[in-house]
Structure 1
Amino acid sequence: MKPVSPGNWRPQGILDFEDRAWEALYETRESVCLTAGAGAGKTEFLAQKAAYLLQTAICPSPRRILAISFKRDAARNLSERLRRRCPDHGHRFVSLTFDAFAKSLLDQFRAAVPDGFRPSSDYRIVVAKRDEFVDFLKRHGHGNLKPKIFEDAVAETQLPLEDSRWNENARKLLQSYWDEQLRGGQRSLLTFAMINRLAERLIRDNDQIKRALQTTYPVVFLDEFQDTTIAQYQVLTAAFGNSRSVVTAVGDDKQKIMGWAGAMENSFHQFTADFKAVPVSLLSNWRAHADLVAVQQLIASRIDPTVEPVVARGRRAIDGSIAAIWQFDTREEEVDGIAQWIASQIDIGEVEPHRVSVLVRNYADRVEEEVAPIFATRGLSVRNVARIVGGEGGVAIQDLLNEELTEILMPFLRLAALRPNPDAWDLASTKMALMHEVESDDGPAGQKVTLRLEELIRTARLYLSENLPGDASAAGVTDMLIDTIGEKLIRQTTPAYERSHDFERVRAAFAALLAEALSEGGSWSDVLDRFDGIGQVPLMTVHKSKGLEFHTILFFGLDDRSWWSLKPANAEELKSFFVALTRAEQRAFFTCCSERGGPIAWLEEILGDMVPRVALS
């Protein structure tokens, strides 16, 4: 396809950006540090900038753009946005999380890791637990050392440990931890912090790997940059620092919620200095309307009194209250009151179930047990997106929906169950082209891939016609899809599945969630909707809501006991609250009950008359 001249390029799918966004988009020679608040259109900006760079050949073929996000759903959202804006160049846009990027490097170049730190090929990814650090420190005579301090030291210390800033005793302790994790069992156990450390050393010690990355990716995007850890940032600087690669970092300090997990301090200042980046700030909120933005601004000003006023660009599409604190006497009244209200809004056509989110501070599994039965009496189905499917070591539902295997299989299922389905066809054809490394306008090769896609769909349709939902096996459907597309092809073209353990883990989780969807019967269309969460009310923690948006959000149990850490001096908790509040497009309500806890007086004082307390018992 012939490149578009930069002067003739036009954005696709949007009417406009604010002037500052265009300034950042057209800056292609220098790195950019773009600070942008909630609803400012950060994802759309990155998708449009990618389209501009690819369609004008400023990023020429076969070079690619690497987009690194903090969360999987953010990486998926950005990838899908680019595919819609720029379908002919989707194969040259690689959208990953920081952890997935580091893991892909380790899996591909594991043999280049020095012997003392090389993990087994079948290493297992684990989550660091406090009790395990306590046990380790006690066994090595350091029981008085706080486990969080040691955990941070593991994450922040570069390899080899001989070059670290710690004294001899500290280095020996760190070395013992690495030795146990790498060689203390039948296979190595690695946290993502350790994987980042190994990836950073790989790049730093191997100029060929560094040159390959810089040649492949002359353009790099960093989304939600405020939550980047020291280890992740050092992977970035090892790969692209002091190079010709142009990096665009996007984020908002008011939405920094991962300080507890090692997010950098002053990350934007550091990036601007290290990459000599051009600073740009966006001031629009395209998600929410003016009345809701005014409520959000109350919290933003508490986080940063110098914050610039935000210009609301969203349209108010509802009448009545857009924010209030609902007061109940008992827990049962609170849950039933929420369920009744959601059901009434669905009945009058105001909102769809999956566009209303119930947010909790933590313990989503416990809240699910409490609310699901009562919601069911009102005809509502609750989906706890944090629930693990696929047995021990499985995958959280929210993560599973963003897994590459799910993104490959679901369009085929949709095409087999429903026809016509243009969206599913676009997704399936894009995935097939990517897996076969064929460009959409590559005549004979592209036609061959299309014929192969049609053949796969016929096979899947025949299978579904012979196996109705009431009789179908989830494992059988999953196996059919993978065998039809080709497990070898899927794994060869998906770095995350290079190891059998990683692939089988996601495969089992996919089959498990499909089995749940099948258990409720209905048509294949109904089953696939349930798999995707359509028609279900999402339940999640405030942290899980990051990067998402909903028509209406409900903060469940906002009291001084459930949200005990939400205090004026706790900046990170206030930012988490702000992030959750800004997920709303139209309305945000807060519920509490006297039986569960008391009001959060200082917060209600900030919200003032804009968010009145309403007794609903």
Structure 2
Amino acid sequence: MVTRINPCEWKPQGVDDLEPNAWEGLRENKQHAAVLAGAGAGKTEFLAQKAAYLLQTGICSDPNRILAISFKNDAARVLKERVNLRCAPEQSRRFESFTYDGFTKFLLDRFRLAIPEPYAPPPDYNIYFPNKGTFQEFLNNQKIRGVNVYQLQKDIANLPLPAGQHNYLALKSYWQCRLTSDEVALSFQMINRLIEYLIRSNPNIKHALRSTYPFVFLDEFQDTTSPQYELLKFIFLESNSLITAVGDDKQQIMGWAGALPEAFNVFNQDFGAKNFDLVSNWRSHPELVSMQHAIAQMITPGLTQPEAKNTKNMKGDVAAIWGYSDRNDEIQGVSNWISEQINSGTKAHELAILVRTHADKLEVEIAPHLLNKGISIRNVARIVDGIAIQDILTEKLTTIILPFLYLGVLERSPENWNRALISLCALEGVDFVDERAHSQQQDRLQYFSRLLRQDLSNGNFHKGRINPTISSILAFLTEDAIRSSISEYKQDRDYNRVLNGIVSLLEECADCSSSWLEALDRFQGVDQVPLMTIHKSKGLEFQTIIFFGLDAKTWWSLTPDNPEELRSFFVAFTRAKQSTFFTSCSQTGNPVTWIEEILTSVGVNKLAGPGCEN
């Protein structure tokens, strides 16, 4: 049994110390907390440390749990992994990390039958992602006229059930069609409304959630949508559950997707939260932070500059606007520069290319130039067998399978051993307090990993071995155990989509690899230049950022009075640990003069781009 630590004696794990405001926010367990944390402030680390503090001191005692809700899959995964590293297994199992959509789907799968008729979906419902065309097709098929497509989409996401109470034919018909079709398919917006209706109709479920989760973490809170926030408020407002909301209004870039305006102000008004400002930037060095702060002040005038905690370890410009007159010169010049950096020792996966939109178009242009130099590019939004690469890498099934594959390849790998053992025990329902059962699972894992290592070391490596190897791992773990313990995989379609994506991406990596280890590393993007949009880069960091397209055509809506576009620009700028470079090609569009003036005033000079200095 794990011994509790006195709160006064508790110390952070994995870091030397926390800044004073982080200590205060971490120890606050009497009222709700709003933690304002700018770029590089360590939002995920703060939440991981607070979880460790609550669990290890017994403030969140067994059987109570901590509910953490993040905006993106990879953020939820990373937060869970960090808690696993800092806490004993019997403690970390009481930390539940979801996305908003994952949490509502979990509730739907668990309490589906308690939803009042006729809104309870069948057990084999599917998830779908509607767009404007989907809603227009519905209206045409139903011969409904005079309804604005965008308004219908908004009403589906926001109006409470039952739909009939609104005297709104299109809304009522839409729900009826979705729930009575041969293959019922629900969007996550619909699932949100179903869960609100479920809890409103069943007060005991609301009471159970409040009792189970005395502590709730909300990561990247600024991107929470209005329906998501209203659901959380409906569950936890005026309860004993304490919410810690963490985020940064300067990085709210999901307004187009319905992000709650002035999210922290709304939260403070509703919950009376105590505010804590994290003032450190652990990502970027002082020179870069000073440049980023010029943009931050345009978003929030009078803002105090963060204290940079990273150190500069490079020579030359840390930021510049690279000017080009020809698109081909721009592509060729940047490709050559990337090649030079890699040849000088920089890892390819630490050099990220960002674009505002249409990463696939830039991939077509620049990938052949890089490939000629032996450099691979990875467009994280590229679809492989029906699922984006970035989504494959953050799926729970991936995080289960990968450690076993590495155990089959590496003679010793303590980190992957621990991850595999945690997954195995969780799937087998083994309590880590039960030493005998835990020891049995260790023996099982040791035996299986030895057999797997023998199998993978025999014969030539080729992609035909991927599927049988993954099948053997799933047979050892049992797919039924995986699918019953992870709500997202209860439906055949959802599970098979992810599994097929994992297999297909690994097979693709195997085609250009000479060993299992090389294929696994390629699968995770090692030694490949990542390419992504700003929205996909949120929460990530790289040594160097190259932002393609700082021009008025690409950034047609970047104006001083458009805060969301300015926040997008700020997010792009703040992904870098050491350097950021913007390309501006006159063939593509005119310069964004006002933003260039701000940047040059803080030392971001406009220079002839690499390859056209002469």
Equivalent runs, 1:365-514 vs 2, <5 Å = 365-390=360-385, 394-466=386-458, 468-470=460-462, 472-514=464-506
> Hey, what's the Cα distance between the residues in 2 that align with 1:463 and 1:117?
50
For residues 589 and 527 of structure 1, the distance between their equivalents in structure 2, rounded to whole angstroms, comes to: 31
Distance 2:98 2:460 in 1: 36
Do the aligned residues in 2 keep the contact of 1:478 with 1:510 (CA within 8 Å)? no
Question: What are the Cα deviations for residues 85-122 of structure 1, in whole angstroms up to 9, with x where unaligned?
Answer: 22432211111100000011111111122222222322
Match of 2:194 in 1: 198
Q: Does 1:278 align with 2:280?
A: no
Q: Report the counterpart of residue 38 of structure 2 in structure 1.
A: 37
Name which of 177, 180, 183 aligns with 1:180: 177
Q: Match for residue 226 of structure 1?
A: 222
Q: How big is the shift at 1:139? A: 5.3
Q: Whole-Å Cα distance in 2 between the matches of residues 442 and 120 of structure 1?
A: 38
1:193-592 to structure 2, matched below 5 A, reads: 193-349=189-345, 351-390=346-385, 394-466=386-458, 468-470=460-462, 472-592=464-584
* Superposition pairs of residues 6-85 of structure 1, within 5 angstroms: 6-85=7-86
CA-CA distance at 1:239 after TM superposition: 2.4
Whole-angstrom distance in 1 between the partners of 2:7 and 2:316: 46
Cα deviation code 1:282-333 (max 9, x no counterpart): 2221111111111111111111213222221221121110000111222222
Q: Which residue of 1 aligns with 2:95?
A: 93
Task: Report the Cα distance in structure 2 between the residues aligned to 1:129 and 1:471, rounded to whole angstroms.
Answer: 36
- Please give the secondary structure, in 2, of the residue aligned with 1:510: helix
CA distance in 2, matches of 1:437, 1:458: 23
- Does the 8 A contact of 2:164 with 2:172 survive in 1? no
Which residue number corresponds to residue 608 of structure 2?
615
Contact 1:381 1:535 in 2 (8 A): yes
* Secondary structure of the corresponding residue to residue 445 of structure 1: helix
Alpha-carbon distance between aligned partners in 1 of 2:409 and 2:47, rounded to the nearest angstrom:
34
Question: SS in structure 2 opposite 1:472?
Answer: helix
Q: Normalised by the size of structure 2, how large is the TM-score?
A: 0.96
Which residues of structure 1 form unaligned runs of 5+? Answer: none
Contact 1:358 1:553 in 2 (8 A): yes
Which letter does structure 1 place at the counterpart of 2:292?
Q
Structure 1 residues 115 and 3, CA gap change in structure 2 (3 angstroms): same
Shift of 1:439: 4.2
Q: Percent of counterpart pairs with the same letter?
A: 46
- Which residue matches 1:113? 115
Return the alpha-carbon distance in structure 1 between the equivalents of residues 184 and 235 of structure 2: 25
Following the alignment from structure 2 to structure 1, what is the Cα–Cα distance between the partners of residues 480 and 148? Answer: 46
1:525–1:64 distance in 2 versus 1, CA, 3 Å:
same
C-alpha distance in 1, partners of 2:154/2:463?
51
Instruction: Tell me, in whole angstroms, the C-alpha distance in 2 between the residues paired with 1:574 and 1:207.
Output: 43
Residues 69 and 222 in structure 1, CA contact (< 8 A), matched pair in contact too: yes
Q: Aligned partners of 1:160 and 1:375: how far apart in 2?
A: 55
1:266 Cα shift? 2.2
CA distance in 1, matches of 2:374, 2:555: 29
The Cα of 1:209 is off from its aligned counterpart by 1.8
Change in Cα spacing, 1:446 to 1:206, as seen in structure 2 (3 Å) is same
Aligned to 1:3: 4
8 Å CA contact 1:120, 1:187 repeated in 2: no
Range that drifts further, 550-559 or 135-144: 135-144
Retained in 2: the 8 A contact 1:382–1:538?
Answer: yes
Q: Among residues 598, 607, 612, which one is paired with 1:606 in the alignment?
A: 598
- After superposition, the Cα gap between the structure-2 partners of 1:74 and 1:316, relative to the gap in structure 1 and judged at 3 Å, is same
- Pick which of 464-473 and 494-503 moved more: 464-473
Contact 2:35 2:247 in 1 (8 A): yes
Equivalent AA in structure 2 for residue 536 of structure 1: Q
* Residue 569 (structure 1) shift: 2.4
Q: Give the distance between the partners of 1:601 and 1:467, measured in 2 at CA.
A: 60
Q: Distance in 2 between matches of 1:359 and 1:381?
A: 16
Query: Does 327-336 or 525-534 show the bigger shift?
Result: 327-336
Q: How far off its partner does 1:484 sit? A: 2.0
Q: Secondary structure at the match of 2:544?
A: strand
Q: Aligned letter for 1:342? A: I
- CA contact 1:384–1:538 (8 Å) conserved in 2: yes
Q: Secondary structure at 2:582's aligned position in 1?
A: strand
Deviates most, 578-587 or 602-611: 602-611
After superposing on structure 2, the runs of 4+ consecutive aligned residues of structure 1 that deviate more than 6 Å are none
Q: Equivalents in 1 of 2:495, 2:65: separation in Å?
A: 25
Q: Does the aligned pair in 1 maintain the 2:135–2:149 contact within 8 Å?
A: yes
Q: Give 3-state SS (helix, strand or coil) of 1:586's partner.
A: strand
1 CA distance for matches of 2:595 and 2:20?
35
Q: Which stretch of structure 1 is more off in the superposition, 466-475 or 213-222?
A: 466-475
Cα deviation for residue 376 of structure 1 reads 0.4
The CA deviation string for residues 494-535 of structure 1, in whole angstroms up to 9 with x for no partner, is 121122221111111111101101111311110100011111
Q: 1:114 to 1:301 in 2, by over 3 A?
A: same
Answer whether contact 1:91 1:439 (CA < 8 A) is retained. Answer: no
Q: Give the secondary structure class of the aligned counterpart of 1:13.
A: coil
Q: Please identify, of 83-92 and 569-578, the stretch whose mean Cα deviation from structure 2 is larger.
A: 83-92
1:561 and 1:597 in contact (8 A); partners too: yes
404-413 or 143-152: bigger deviation: 143-152
Q: 2:552·2:589 contact (CA, 8 Å) conserved in 1? A: yes
Per the alignment, in what secondary structure is the counterpart of residue 345 of structure 1?
helix
Contact 1:90–1:430 (CA<8 Å) still a contact in 2? no
8 Å CA contact retained: 1:339, 1:380: no
Would the alpha carbon gap of residues 136 and 449 (structure 1) be closer, same or farther in structure 2, given more than 3 Å must change? same
What residue in structure 2 maps to residue 126 of structure 1?
128
Deviations along 1:346-401, one digit per CA (max 9) or x if unpaired, are 1111x2111111001111122211111111012210001011112xxx22111111
Instruction: Note the alpha carbon deviations across 1:22-78, whole angstroms, 9 max, x for none.
Output: 111001121111111111111111000000000011101122111100001111111
Task: Tell me by how many angstroms 1:147 deviates.
Answer: 2.2
Q: CA deviation at 1:570?
A: 2.0
Name which of structure 1's ranges 535-544 and 312-321 shifts more when overlaid on structure 2: 312-321
1:605 is matched by which residue type in structure 2?
Answer: E
User: Residue 96 of structure 1: SS of its match in structure 2?
Assistant: strand
Which deviations, in whole Å up to 9, do the C-alpha atoms of 1:383-431 show, x marking residues without a partner?
01011112xxx22111111101000000000010112112211211222
Q: Which sits farther off after the overlay, 351-360 or 479-488?
A: 479-488
Structure 1 partner of 2:155: 153
The separation in 2 between residues aligned to 1:585 and 1:298, in whole angstroms, is: 17
Q: Structure 2: how far apart are the matches of 1:128 and 1:420?
A: 46
1:554 aligns to what SS in structure 2?
Answer: strand
Aligned to 2:585, which of 580, 593, 598?
593
Helix, strand or coil: the match of 1:7? coil
Distance 1:574 1:467, change over 3 A: farther
Distance (Å, rounded) in 2 between the aligned partners of 1:465 and 1:471: 14
